[in-house]
Structure 1
Amino acid sequence: MYTREGAFDRRLVLVDIENVVGGAVTMAGQVHAAQAAIEVVVSPRPNDHVVLACGRSSVRTVGFEWAGPRRLRFRSGIDGADLELLDILESEHVGERFTEVVLVSGDGIFADAISRLALRNDTVVTVVSRPGACSRRLRMAAKRTLHLDYDPNATMEVA
């Protein structure tokens, strides 16, 4: 059984990196730019538990290029990354283990799980997404929504 005592000031940061970059991650520069943009908005803390999710085709680039501690989940299919993060939200007692949850994605598939977490008075739920890329249902489910300054078309690999 989980208790809230150990959850004091613990934050879970769930990142659908393909949602941030606008598709499969094929270049190191995409990961570096996405991580930098996320860190500006999220302001990393030493005790953050970061989980990255992506499709199978992106896992090598994401796994090698993301700097710092993180957990990496991947799954094939159009909604593979979403389903991996949704599995964490629904099966890992997130509300009991963390005082704050940050979801970096704009996909509406998370709306119900985020809504359930947001209903807890002791869990702060934040959604971070590119402007115009966040579903209305997800925005309404979260306690707050922050905009990510990342242009998927601006990232270029330096040769």
Structure 2
Amino acid sequence: MQRRDHSRRSTGALPECGLGLSSIEVRRRYGMYPHNGEHFDMPVIRTVVSDETYASLSRKQRKAGLLSISALFLTKCNETADDPEADKIVRRAFKLAACKPLGEEFRVQDLFPPATWEEFSKGARLRSGRIFKAETNAGQRGIRAVRTSGSNHQFYIRSNAHEQD
């Protein structure tokens, strides 16, 4: 059960950010994480924007491959929380992928036990997939993308370093 307690509110144009925000509201959110039972108490920022600004931010968010406009804001401010976790996933994934037999298809999530994969935040899992794909596309790791499933999961194989399509 989550409780909200209004802590402060600020309204009006915020010209210093240049994002066309018409109001911003900060609240506190209390609750418990369902996956580990830990309690949290964190600020929640709510912004109000025009339809045009929302459409523009939404396009930028999708182009950046981010989950939300909030993630776009955090990325632009160099405050993303899932970058270190995503980097850790990618480092481990490349080590685990190196042990796969040549030619065997796998997804990044297949490299981890299901319980371990689910412990990672959704944002970090998605970001790690994008990073993994970008690094394999560079061709430096002996792993290449082979196909994408109907649910948009990328499959890879470990291949000989000299093997080309």
TM-score range, shorter chain: under 0.3
State the structure with more CA Rg.
Answer: 2
After TM superposition, the score normalised by the length of structure 1 is 0.27
Higher strand fraction (1 or 2): 2
TM-score (ref. length: structure 2): 0.26
